[in-house]
Structure 1
């Protein structure tokens, strides 16, 4: 028997069942609203569960489809899942209300006419959307002026969510949706735009982009490393989540098997006589990007524009988030918290010729169990996916290699800082190292990468001398940058990942491998020579040249994420469909935005493209230059002088990076971020040195972004100057002592939550450590610090084992099942990073003699125990107890007390049904457990004024 934690339990606390009737307009009434919320949340949760079960089934059968691999590579963090689920809850609720009332009234109506302002507030609060749009306070964040937060909250202290993770992409031009709100262009293929229908995106891909793998044009100026560094940079800035559901909420259509269009399904339709799809299904699965809370059809709840916006689950700043993560929970998960050295966690099972590898994902199911499928060897040893700051780290082995190299660079610098400043504790080492690595990336991107891409004219226009931080600049990533402009590099990817030996010849044991055979194959790093052969291939082989007649090769257009014979994805079609999904205006609108000419006909378009044949083909497909999808229009433009994109993308990319720099309070050149001597040292950093310091590569070309065949002035690593860290040595006591009170960092912020329809302000004490959140929270509640967490864990596990028959039905082994034996439970739960669940919270209430209220999305989610026990508050971020993130809610006026929580006797409420426990009804039976323990608390926060 498992406890059923239904999401709608919070409704019982947030909604009083009363009818609301205004003076002039009758509203729907709270019982109706409550039922709609319950139905919507059950419907969304059921769709999520269906999708999760489908994934698990495919993994177990090793039948992962390409679209599932794509979905996995963009898997949202716990915080992002919460944001997406909140938006899905809200949209489903409003849709249910609209459908039911339309049946009653038999006419078109506006839901807002039937919902009072209070109703709208309740819906926003219960679904969780209110919490997603609230502005965090910056006043209580420690060292908010010294270090950027992981989520980039409070980078801009006037608008604390600007540029932060899990906020909407911005728009530089109004969105173009068929209904003005959410329906993308070409949803209805018969719709005309400027008198013409839009072509199927697969038609555009087949006719304009089709390029065989053979005889590709090579870029004789730039290396393949330039391409991968561009992807690396993109993964620091943009990641757009889709809904976790593969099934439409209203009618249950499975988007992975059906070609029907129903939110969130927007399949890529296949044209007649498509050479690859003659005998297969007539579409490629495509899922719409998740809408941000308060946008699209839910926008009027917040009284703002109701045009659909999409979520960027990353920060908008160049902060090396692909190494460190963009949320606190992921950042803490990636750290080595077993010591106080400021290190990142590394793999405990494998090494790469003595060098560290990325740690494995802590998961029971394995999306990267691809070795037996790719090698056709059913006995092949499988390994888990690697874990990193960005979920796409396993997308291909070249990207994995760069992730691995920078993980090593962090730990290398951290060890130097520990020797240089032995007085620093682990938190200071981590923050200072992260700050330096972030500066390294800012310098490499602006000094070395962008001038090659956008050319000197655009650099002079957008990225001339830095004049300082401007808090009026919005650094948020624009949808056109993420969805079109910065996807230019897809046309420069080689169809192979090159693997070279020490002599820069193709490796005899581990030869070059086709790109589609490197997708989600971390085992190639572990078992096939590590990252050195891949790094050599990146720095010594040329990029593919983007040419108008040789655009995208078949590895990306016909075999994307293909591991088996299943139908692969088409990257070109996905890019075009995504642009329509995001409501991007057409080619000419964006040329107008950049102050460029706007061709009106085929002749003028041919002059812009310097190619009348290409212009004729585009006009045949689109009818008018106005209709051309901005991505395809941008990639076929001739390069700007000394650049690798055309004028439109040079403008859009330059514009975006100007905003990122000028709107970043922690930009490395901004006053007070680094000392003058540190800035001087930073200017001498190079990617050459990072490669030499963190791999077995011993010779490098004069520039790792320019193409130099081997032996063309290659330099020994011993001749490249080492980076000088002496400017970071402290000669006086610094701020590091601010962290000395705890072995691990604890961050605090302020949050308003709702109890019985009354708002209460709490301090949120954020807990670190993947799997240890619950035990850290309990330790902090009892002692005011988290140094005794392991002891708390051991005591709780012992308590459960001593009454196993009662507790075992509440245990959770991480897969949704109970632990079957005491031995299994003990061996797993005594590991320092195994998640706790409802079972351990139940045990804690008895062991420590207090009751807990758990809140999710600002609403009460679950209560353990009844009065008169002292009340403690916990915040849950995530879907359930066994995988969510726990933090502590602490009363603002709490004070340190010397209190003993008596634990004899303790009354345990033994519920005979799930419902009794779920709704805290009087138990059918109680069991009195005698204990002989007392626990001394250093800090008690159960001040009565915080209880309502």
Structure 2
């Protein structure tokens, strides 16, 4: 950085004496941006985390923006993370949708500089996979997924409708009360079930070398973007509500909208119905897509298996003696749970953010969730330890 130093001295004097004060002035030479640390092109496996670095010098200090295939990357994109000064761009789980050209542009009042890098998501036998997944194959897969989901939902409905019901069983009926929410959940489950069937098709039909894949791999990350779009369309998935331009200020300054749009004019899409919540921390899935941590009980984390959640509750947060509270009963907790979860299902509106689970039967095998120990979509069971008091009472 080029600059010049100047020293100034202020002198004041009269008949009684003299006093002086000095100060220094630094004048910087302005300069256009210069990329001093360029992002590097990368070839990665599906599901890997990718970081691009871009640093620039200049005076005034330049600001940096990132672009993907010519489109500016926004902070609202939950798939990527940008550092505070935008020097680094991190893709949390790389998929084929992330393949392309990444460009960082540094700007200040004197000009701009840019640098490019490409990302390639590599997978062995990728061409064979793409050629095998024809539109007809995808249609057959989604058709089978729909049949599996419909069968499980219908069996769940018939189970609820037969015989006497407990209050908890009665509450489950409200999941089917609002068709719009049930359709949204059903589409999501068909989409995920379709991906599982694609996985089965690839493993059984193509003898795909899955042992070469990373542990956080999901089949969504290796499918072509066109295949993902086809599965989403056939599943009935929606891209979200239509974005209101919020131009009718006479209306929006007086009234609140039912779906949340235009209520916050500074951030018009915050809190809008049927949009994903923004997370303080990125989600952690065992396969990088949709399975929870502990889905595979044999998987090691930092060299250890995950403990049984029920055992953790018994050993760490349990108590041998329950002491009463001076002002509250257990009903307070139950009431809070009712307001936070159950009533959200009961009062679910077409514009609600809730998408309740519908089936209690597994999609592929038809087993009832609380009658199988296997983790089969959509069932995630917690085995009861032999020393569990609930087991001893039965």
Instruction: Give the TM-score band, short-chain normalised.
Output: 0.5 to 0.7
- Alpha-carbon spacing, 1:145–1:126, altered in 2? closer, same or farther (3 Å): farther
Distance in 2 (CA, whole Å) between partners of 1:203 and 1:78 is 39
Deviation of the 1:81 alpha carbon: 1.5
Runs of 4+ in 1 over 6 A off after TM superposition: 73-76, 222-229, 235-239
Mapping for residues 125-144 of structure 1, pairs under 5 Å: 125-129=233-237, 131-139=238-246, 143-144=251-252
Alignment-derived partner of residue 180 in structure 1: 288
Deviation of the 1:262 alpha carbon: 0.8
Q: 1:135, 1:159 within 8 Å by CA — same for their partners in 2?
A: no
User: Does 2:205 correspond to 1:91?
Assistant: no
Alignment-derived partner of residue 99 in structure 2: none
- Alpha-carbon spacing, 1:77–1:212, altered in 2? closer, same or farther (3 Å): farther
User: Does 2:154 correspond to 1:49?
Assistant: yes
Deviations 1:566-587 (A, max 9, x none): xxxxxxxxxxxxxxxxxxxxxx
Q: Secondary structure at the match of 1:81?
A: helix
Deviation of the 1:44 alpha carbon: 1.2
- Alpha-carbon spacing, 1:177–1:279, altered in 2? closer, same or farther (3 Å): same
Mapping for residues 371-382 of structure 1, pairs under 5 Å: none
Mapping for residues 287-326 of structure 1, pairs under 5 Å: none
Q: TM-score, normalised by structure 1?
A: 0.24
- Alpha-carbon spacing, 1:213–1:43, altered in 2? closer, same or farther (3 Å): same
Deviation of the 1:179 alpha carbon: 2.6
Deviation of the 1:242 alpha carbon: 4.0
Residues paired across the two proteins, number: 251
Deviations 1:192-242 (A, max 9, x none): 4344433322223333444589651425xx899987886687469977654
Alignment-derived partner of residue 139 in structure 2: 34
Distance in 2 (CA, whole Å) between partners of 1:50 and 1:226 is 34
Distance in 2 (CA, whole Å) between partners of 1:176 and 1:116 is 23
- Alpha-carbon spacing, 1:216–1:195, altered in 2? closer, same or farther (3 Å): farther
Alignment-derived partner of residue 204 in structure 2: 103
User: Does 2:183 correspond to 1:82?
Assistant: yes
| Gaps in structure 1 of 5+ consecutive residues | 1-21, 281-948
Q: 2:363, 2:377 within 8 Å by CA — same for their partners in 1?
A: yes
Distance in 1 (CA, whole Å) between partners of 2:173 and 2:378 is 17
Mapping for residues 454-603 of structure 1, pairs under 5 Å: none
Alignment-derived partner of residue 276 in structure 1: 390
Distance in 2 (CA, whole Å) between partners of 1:111 and 1:32 is 16
Q: Secondary structure at the match of 1:269?
A: coil
Deviation of the 1:69 alpha carbon: 5.0
Between Structure 1 and Structure 2, the one with more strand by share is: 2
Mapping for residues 874-885 of structure 1, pairs under 5 Å: none
Deviations 1:521-547 (A, max 9, x none): xxxxxxxxxxxxxxxxxxxxxxxxxxx
User: Does 2:266 correspond to 1:164?
Assistant: no
Distance in 1 (CA, whole Å) between partners of 2:223 and 2:287 is 23
Distance in 1 (CA, whole Å) between partners of 2:272 and 2:366 is 34
Deviation of the 1:139 alpha carbon: 4.9
Between Structure 1 and Structure 2, the one with more helix by share is: 1
How much is the aligned-residue C-alpha RMSD, in angstroms? 4.0
- Alpha-carbon spacing, 1:30–1:165, altered in 2? closer, same or farther (3 Å): same
Deviation of the 1:128 alpha carbon: 2.1
Deviations 1:267-295 (A, max 9, x none): 12111122221374xxxxxxxxxxxxxxx
Deviations 1:659-716 (A, max 9, x none): xxxxxxxxxxxxxxxxxxxxxxxxxxxxxxxxxxxxxxxxxxxxxxxxxxxxxxxxxx
Distance in 1 (CA, whole Å) between partners of 2:182 and 2:308 is 31
Distance in 1 (CA, whole Å) between partners of 2:301 and 2:143 is 40
Alignment-derived partner of residue 204 in structure 1: 312
User: Does 2:164 correspond to 1:62?
Assistant: yes
Q: Secondary structure at the match of 2:390?
A: coil
Distance in 1 (CA, whole Å) between partners of 2:293 and 2:151 is 29
- Alpha-carbon spacing, 1:119–1:201, altered in 2? closer, same or farther (3 Å): closer
- Alpha-carbon spacing, 1:50–1:74, altered in 2? closer, same or farther (3 Å): closer
Mapping for residues 183-194 of structure 1, pairs under 5 Å: 183-194=291-302
Q: Secondary structure at the match of 2:157?
A: helix
- Alpha-carbon spacing, 1:196–1:70, altered in 2? closer, same or farther (3 Å): farther
